[in-house]
Amino acid sequence: MKKLNKSFWIGIVFAMVLYGVIQILLTTGIFDDVMESTLILICINVMLAVSLNLINGITGQFSIGHAGFMSIGAYVSAILTLNFDVPFVLALVISGLVAALFGVLIGIPTLRLNGDYLAIATLGFGEIIRIVLLNTEYVGGASGLSGIPTQTTWTIMFLFTLVTVVVINNFINSSHGRACIAIRENEIAAEAMGINTTLYKIIAFALGALFAGIAGGLSAHKFYVINPGSFNFLKSFEILVMVVLGGLGSTSGAIVGAIVLTVLFTVLQEYPELRMIIYSAILILMMIFRPKGLLGSTGFSFKKFAKKEAKPSDSINS
Amino acid sequence: MTASTAEVLLDVQQASRSFGGLKALSEVSLHINRGELIGLIGPNGAGKTTLFNLLTGVYPPSSGSIILNNESVGGMKPFRINRKGAARTFQNIRLFTAMTVLDNVKIAFHQHAKHSMFTSMLRLPKHFSGEGEITQKAMDILKIFNLADQFDELAGNMSYGNQRRLEIARALAAGPKLLLLDEPAAGMNPNETRDLMNLIAWIREEFDLTILLIEHDMSLVMGVCDRIYVLDRGMLIADGSPLEIRNNPKVIEAYLGQEA
Ligand SMILES: Nc1ncnc2c1ncn2[C@@H]1O[C@H](COP(=O)(O)OP(=O)(O)O)[C@@H](O)[C@H]1O
Ligand SMILES: [Mg+2]
């Protein structure tokens, strides 16, 4: 247990040094505003990828509706600061909790579904959220909300990212996180060993949604405008590709995947139509050359990607 | 002990289960007293595993009742039945293959964890004491099964025989009163089988267990079981002492019918 504690503190010290170095580069002007925006975007994507990894990589539930939770957080926090003068950080916390609540509400009916069916349900959830936002006058319809106070500073962003990574990693490396991994590994055996699999799937969904919601809030308060179009299926897919690139089931992998893809897209900003091709190419290349992801700990196959095992009726009887 | 005075741990009454048109189990009634080691035998496809699936909640019974420890558990979710004191192994091994040997056993201890999710997320002192206790208990179980030196290996990388033993260790870690073993010796050579049977007899004493053991090889259970139930085509065709079963014409017929 001491060892666990030690690696935890090494991580914290590393994060602080990283923060300090970047802070120096920013204040001395070596890193300009564009660079700062990129760094913040990287952190937002790290939050999204690490939280999605908890659902897909750790618990083995194939969700592709993460942009939906992100948009809930973005809209809730923006309305709170714009219309109700709620302090920024409080607005972020509330937006995360609302997203988590949606995670629970969506999770209860859909988590009975397996693999592909769950994927379709979560995809549908993301699209429903987007279409509701699109048709709601109060949140600006298609043009969305603008004039959101740009309160997401590099320091706040870094702190929230650090908290996300630490809390999720602490969860994963505990008996509760192991319960989630057991569900991924063999749901029938997990249930037979006393794990309330439904409860832990919902917990994973809620925790993932919580941090995706906060990431959405931070994003809204960085980029000034939000509209339903920025939380479409492509965004959900992008987060999924980050997780797969890094390696399903690995938090450090999700971080690396988020950094690599964000940098790649910032460099290729002028060619947005290339994104879809790049996503597909990455997925195919990963499957062929690095099925476990750049840093992955668990095998990546389409089966694992979607779900963990055969349906109960297939093989329980023999 | 005599069956009449001993306390009944498991009481199954008229349990049936159909899959579509197939009646996998019809009106099976049996009971197990505390401390007994009972064999459940029968040819392939007789419904032995299906009975286990009903007892552990994988499927609800189509009809009939299952009483475990004076409580009706028929149709209860598997994790609840496990917490009520029935733990099982699977005929086709179901380990958490990408987890370590130690973590496999720790999963079964999770239901007894004393630290909440939030103490873990914030790494409060309770997290460390709770995790420490689980690790300690899991290592103790691994030592009993001679698996302690492989605690850090992935379960999927272990030898077949050790995987079977690990599954029993994991079931034991849940702290059951009733241990259900589904063909634990399947695929083992005679030496491994003998060791396993000795181990089962030993843990039964050590952990004060009641055991229901599925085996389709009749000779294997004869030596260790107090009583034996025989299933054939979903129906209970005989029960009694190993000697009675060995000489029961119905049983002989069921087995001959299969091998012929
Ligand atoms: N989930 C299921 N769906 C359909 N048929 C099943 C299912 N489970 C078991 N069966 C059938 O029930 C019968 C008994 O199977 P089983 O209990 O596995 O036998 P045993 O363990 O005695 O070899 C078999 O004919 C099997 O095909
Ligand atoms: Mg069987």
Residue B109, chain A, CB below 8 Å: the answer is yes
Pairing of strands B210-215, B37-41: parallel
Contact B130, A175 (CB under 8 A): yes
What pLDDT, on the 0 to 100 scale, is given for residue A52?
A: 97
What pLDDT, on the 0 to 100 scale, is given for residue A5?
A: 65
Q: What is the DSSP string of chain B?
A: --TTTSPEEEEEEEEEEEETTEEEEEEEEEEEETT-EEEEE-STTSSHHHHHHHHTTSS--SEEEEEETTEE-TT--HHHHHHHTEEE--SS----TTSBHHHHHHHHHGGG--S-HHHHHTT-HHHHHHHHHHHHHHHHHHHHTT-GGGTTSBGGGS-HHHHHHHHHHHHHHT--SEEEEESTTTT--HHHHHHHHHHHHHHHHHTT-EEEEEES-HHHHHTT-SEEEEEETTEEEEEE-HHHHHT-HHHHHHHHHHH-
Q: What is the distance between the alpha carbons of residues B142 and B104, in angstroms, rounded to a whole number?
A: 10
The hierarchical CATH code for the domain B1-85+176-260 is: 3.40.50.300
Q: Compute how many other C-beta atoms are within 10 angstroms of the C-beta atom of residue B160.
A: 12
CB contact under 8 A, A185 and B96: yes
- What lines the ligand 1 site, CB under 6 Å? A 313, 317-318; B 19, 22, 24, 42, 44-50
Residue given tokens 């005599």 in the structure block = B2
Q: Which residues of B touch A165 (CB under 8 A)?
A: none
Tokens of B50: 């299906």
**Interface residue ranges in chain A relative to chain B, Cβ cutoff 8 Å:** 1, 4-5, 8, 167, 170-171, 174-179, 181-182, 185-186, 188-197, 203, 297-299, 312, 315-318
B67-100 pLDDT per residue, tens: 999 999 998 999 999 999 999 999 999 999 999 9
Q: Which residues of B touch A182 (CB under 8 A)?
A: 96, 99, 107
What pLDDT, on the 0 to 100 scale, is given for residue A302?
A: 39
Residue closest via CA to ligand 1's atom 9 equals A317
Q: Which residues of B touch A171 (CB under 8 A)?
A: 117, 120-121
Residue in B with minimal Cα distance to A197: B79
* Closest-CA residue to B238 (of B9, B43, B3, B21): B43
What pLDDT, on the 0 to 100 scale, is given for residue A246?
A: 87
pLDDT band with cut points at 50, 70 and 90 for residue B6: low
Pocket test for ligand 1, best of B16, B18, B22 (most atoms within 8 A of CB): B22
What pLDDT, on the 0 to 100 scale, is given for residue A248?
A: 87
Q: Rounded to the nearest whole angstrom, what is the distance from the C-alpha of residue A313 to the centroid of ligand 1?
A: 10
Write the single-letter amino acid at B7: E
Residue closest via CA to ligand 1's atom 18 equals A317
Question: 10-residue block means of pLDDT along chain A (318 residues)?
Answer: 65 88 89 89 97 95 93 97 95 97 89 81 91 91 90 94 95 96 96 95 96 97 92 91 89 92 86 80 80 60 40 39
Q: What is the distance between the alpha carbons of residues B137 and B160, in angstroms, rounded to a whole number?
A: 24
How do the domains of chain B map onto residue ranges? 1-85+176-260, 95-175
What pLDDT, on the 0 to 100 scale, is given for residue B191?
A: 86
Q: Which residues of A touch B89 (CB under 8 A)?
A: none
Residue given tokens 């496990």 in the structure block = B82
Residue in A with minimal Cα distance to B108: A193
* Closest-CA residue to B178 (of B50, B19, B69, B25): B69
Is the pLDDT at B246 greater than 50? The verdict is: yes
Q: What is the distance between the alpha carbons of residues A173 and A179, in angstroms, rounded to a whole number?
A: 10
Q: What is the pTM of this model?
A: 0.91
Q: Rounded to the nearest whole angstrom, what is the distance from the C-alpha of residue B53 to the centroid of ligand 1?
A: 10
CB contact under 8 A, B92 and A315: yes
Q: What is the distance between the alpha carbons of residues B136 and B114, in angstroms, rounded to a whole number?
A: 14
B105-155 pLDDT per residue, tens: 999 999 999 899 999 999 899 999 999 999 999 999 999 999 999 999 999
